[in-house]
Structure 1
Amino acid sequence: MSVATAVGAVLAHASAPLGAVAGIASAHGTSVSAGGTASLDGTAVTTETAFDLASVTKVAATTTMILRLVAEGVLALDDTVARLLPSTSCAPQTTVRDLLQHRAGLWEWQPLYLFDAAASSTIDELPLRYPPGRERHYSDLGFMLLGRIISQVAGTSLGAAFETLVAEPLGLARTSFEPVAAPVASSALGDDAERRMVQTGEPYPVLAPRRDFPWRDHEILGVADDGNCAHAFGGVAGHAGLFSTAGELLELGSALARPQEHPELWSVEAVTEFFRDGPDQGQALGWRSELARVDGRPERMLWHPGFTGCALGVLPGIGASVVLLSNRLFAAEPVTTDVLWRAALPEILGPQGPDEGTRTP
């Protein structure tokens, strides 16, 4: 088993993406492999190709920035949203912790670019969908609010905060919001998925007053696929919009998996708090959690998928991080990122995975 066979398993899937990159980093070294094509013109994917991470942004950028601000003592997990952002519709008792755990009662999603008001104002004016603090309801809007909180506390734009708090300290030169330098993979052909959500009201009812919009119908390359990020937030948001390569995501994941090696960024205690499940099993702070099998042994994994076909996992028990990058939306009948992740993971975490060294196609 290896990262090369993981890529092969993804590209051999009945609903294969155009291309994929898989990798693992541990105390034994780093192994990365790539295959397939990055775009419709047949450009090959390499280990240096950047991908649109979509919702992996929630953990790689937003949650990690919150972690740094908490570690620095300038933000607390139990600070109320009302104190930080007084204009929102969040309940008075709702905290930063609640937003990270998706327990604020907010709508999962709305096409903010179809409302007449600015995106931030629209979020603030939307009524809550669920009773706050009672149960988990995964919410893009909650992470949009977290992005605003980061900007407020850091005193700068969200993109600049990411550079200062995460990218520069870890030496991540190709992990950023737009603009994205080549080589970069295409993420989708137009806004088809989001247009369908608006037209059908599935999986969420749409509250926007209109349905007409100049939808993109071209190959999306180097800009955010997510409609709210692209059309309402200029490519930089707390829920989506980050681009990265496999190697740099593994670098970030490894810094979280082995926090004792980065005391200048965060403490072991702070990372442990973020990785601990809250009231809902399988939901830590920002991260999802589950057991993965490493050489047949169960290990706790913190992870998160992205709509475009990307996923990042952290295994603190063995100090390892794993990644899958793909452009799944180009498949004739795309399967979810979760399906591709579970096809790749047993290969990535197999007996030879951490020991192979770096592979280049």
Structure 2
Amino acid sequence: MRRLVQKGIEEGLFPGAVVCVSRNGDPLYYEAHGKAEATPAERTMTLDTRFDLSSLTQVVATLPAVLRTVQMGKLSLIDPIARYLPEFATGVDRHAKGQISVFQLLSHTSGLPAWKPFFLTARGVKAYLRALADTPLEAAPGEKAIQSDLGYLLLGFALERIWDRPLQDVCERLVFRPLDLNQTSFATGEPLPTELCAASEVGNECERRLCAPYGINHFPWREDVICGEAQDGNAFYGLDGVAGHAGLFSTAADLNRYAEVWVRKGVFRRERFLDATLVTLATQTHTKDLAGEGGMQRGFGWETAHPGGTLGEATPAMSFGMVGKGHSVAIWCDPVSKMTAVTLTNGWHPRGRDGLQEWLKVLHKRIF
């Protein structure tokens, strides 16, 4: 494991990494290597370095908060999301949007597009809901699997509406505090202290390129090293750092503790955190017969092991996990062997890199 991590650094795939591999919650390999920041200053990576989890926010914050809300009887998986966010079904495709269920949003089968740069013009939840109402569906609900940031944006807004609290408070109360995830939080308002975090991109080059077709000539893009604040544009610019699809920061130790809950069927320290039936629903494939992206199969947020998936044949049958944006961060769980793997790299620093996916495949093949 150490040689593989050091090889990734030597080949320039990332400046540094923290990897934690555990069985039954006990670390078998847990080390930090390389640099948390390479430019303009250099900082050493440590076990306590916090990483921008990017799209892992969906399965570490939003998914468990939704499932806990279901357990408490304040939400149903078969409910149309418009029951909680009626303004969502007032614009384009209003009839179809009125039928989109919580289940479909969780399983990425709502028909919503994968991504839209709402942050170019929208600020705040009300503006985002108007933009979502005006966004056409790419498919009828239930007909296609599309990994959609927009679906998890909606789930985050629904949690705020149901609990009448900001999303970060909902997740703190329902997820982070009960699981003792003391180093897990959103970067709200002010950035997290730089010395605690792994550096990300220099500027917003990735999304700046994605926004080129929208003809935006003037936008207050960040130019310096992004560190301690969300790299994702919709989270950072539009929603003050807190969103259902991105914006969460955490450490390998916290994520290892979180992953352990999933391989233990929802039990944390002999206490029931998630209902076992909901854990089964969340980790079984719901997209097997749906045309989707590259053969990827989905449970609720989690990707389920499949030869055509992100990590290919490197992960065992019955396992599940998620690989974040740019293949720089990942969680993978095998409930059969009770093995979990948390891989955190700053592969976006100072620019995104090719080759990370293949490196992750080799790493996970060695682990599992």
Q: Taking structure 1 as reference, are residues 61 and 256 closer, same or farther at Cα in structure 2, changes over 3 Å only?
A: same
Task: State the distance in 2 between where 1:172 and 1:333 align.
Answer: 28
Alpha-carbon distance between aligned partners in 1 of 2:70 and 2:336, rounded to the nearest angstrom: 23
2:18 to 5, 16, 21: 21
Equivalent position SS for 2:211 = helix
Q: Are the equivalent residues in 2 in contact too, given 1:10–1:343 (CA < 8 A)? A: no
Residue-by-residue CA offset, 1:1-39 (whole Å, 9 max, x unaligned): x3x234224324x44111111111222721311111011
The number of equivalent residue pairs is 337
User: How does the TM-score come out when normalised to structure 1?
Assistant: 0.87
Unaligned runs of 5+ in 2: 90-95, 289-295
Could you give the per-residue CA deviations for residues 211-256 of structure 1, whole angstroms, max 9, x where no partner exists? 4211111000100001111000110000000000001101001011
Counting only pairs closer than 5 Å after superposition, residues 335-354 of structure 1 correspond to structure 2 as 335=354, 337-349=356-368
- Which of 296, 309, 322 is equivalent to 1:304? 322
Deviations 1:286-318 (A, max 9, x none): 11011599xx99342211122251111121122
1:267-296, Cα deviation, whole Å (9 max, x unpaired):
222211111111336211111011599xx9
Residue 324 in structure 1 maps to residue 339 in structure 2:
no
Supply the distance in 1 between the matched residues of 2:200 and 2:344 (Cα, whole angstroms).
11
Note the C-alpha offset of 1:60: 0.8
Question: Is contact 1:7–1:20 with CA below 8 Å preserved after alignment?
Answer: yes
Q: Which moved more, 1:77-86 or 1:257-266?
A: 257-266
CA distance in structure 2 between the partners assigned to 1:154 and 1:318 by the alignment: 37
Match of 2:305 in 1: 290
SS of 2:88's partner is coil
Q: Deviations over 1:76-95 (max 9, x none)?
A: 11111121111114522210
Equivalent residues in 2 for 1:7-46, closer than 5 Å: 7-12=5-10, 14-27=11-24, 29-30=26-27, 31-39=29-37, 40=39, 41-46=41-46
Task: Name which of structure 1's ranges 311-320 and 47-56 shifts more when overlaid on structure 2.
Answer: 311-320
Structure 1: state its 5+ residue gaps. 350-361
For 2:108, what is the secondary structure of its paired residue?
coil
Give the structure 1 partner of residue 208 of structure 2. Answer: 195
Kindly state the Cα deviation for residue 162 of structure 1 after the two structures are TM-superposed: 0.9
Q: Tell me the TM-score normalised to structure 2 length.
A: 0.85
Q: 2:111 aligns with which of 102, 105, 108?
A: 105
What is the identity percentage for the equivalent residue pairs of Structure 1 and Structure 2?
Answer: 31
SS at match of 2:36: coil
Structure 1, residues 310-357: CA drift from partner, whole Å, max 9, x if none? 1111211222321111111226660265334213213333xxxxxxxx
Picking from 212, 215, 223, the partner of 1:217 is 223
Evaluate the alpha carbon distance shift between residue 169 and residue 338 of structure 1 in structure 2; reply closer, same or farther with a 3 A threshold: same
Asked if 2 retains the 8 angstrom alpha-carbon contact of 1:115 and 1:122, the reply is no
CA distance in structure 2 between the partners assigned to 1:147 and 1:335 by the alignment: 31
Residue 125 (1) aligns with residue 134 (2): yes
